[in-house]
Amino acid sequence: MDEKKKDDCTCKRCQEIDSMLENPIPTYELTLSRDERKAIEWIGYRYSNGDDHYNLLCKCDYISEHKTSNAWDSESDITFLIPEYIAWEIAENAEQEDGNYVYNFPCFANEFADKLRLFCENLV
């Protein structure tokens, strides 16, 4: 397809892509090590920072040495590119965890909980 036709395409998908490029959704980055991802798995259904957190992260694009279907299980760090609306869902889940509207991440190591707390506190 020549360049002119590609730029003039009026199909619905091309219009959606053009719209996204004109109005990009703000994103936040969160880098998780393998051990941090394993901690999220270990929490599981018991707290919102387990399965709910995992499900939200799975909706995000990511940067990894091994961008494959099983990147979550790779040894390398993964940097998640989290759209603003998902970042706010992560923060809301953490706020509601103990009912006091503090960012709470039970059962995580202090360093990992602090990392997630900082992520939530820096949302604008």
Predicted confidence (pLDDT) at residue 58 exceeds the cutoff of 80: yes
Q: Which residues lie across from 62 on neighbouring strands?
A: 80
Say which amino acid occupies 115.
K
The mean pLDDT of 37-55, rounded to a whole number, is: 87
pTM of the model: 0.73
Question: Can you tell me the distance from the alpha carbon of 74 to that of 69, in angstroms, rounded to the nearest whole number?
Answer: 10
Q: Are 85 and 25 in contact (CB under 8 A)?
A: yes
**In angstroms, rounded to a whole number, what is the distance separating the alpha carbons of residues 95 and 77?**
26
> What pLDDT, on a 0 to 100 scale, did the predictor assign at position 98?
65
Q: Which neighbouring-strand residues pair with 83?
A: 27
Comparison of pLDDT for 2 and 38, the residue scoring more: 38
- At residue 83, φ and ψ (nearest 5 deg) are -60, 150
Residue bearing tokens 């602090």: 114
Residue range 101-123: average pLDDT?
86
Dihedral over alpha carbons 61, 28, 123, 113 (to 10 degrees): 80
The answer to whether 113 and 90 have CB atoms below 8 angstroms apart is no
Look at 67 and 28; give whichever has higher pLDDT: 28
- Which band of pLDDT confidence, cut at 50, 70 and 90, is reported for residue 30? very high
If pLDDT is split at 50, 70 and 90, which confidence band does 20 have? low
The answer on pLDDT for 1 being more than 50 is no
Q: How far apart are CA 42 and CA 115, in angstroms?
A: 18
| pLDDT of the residue at 72 | 87
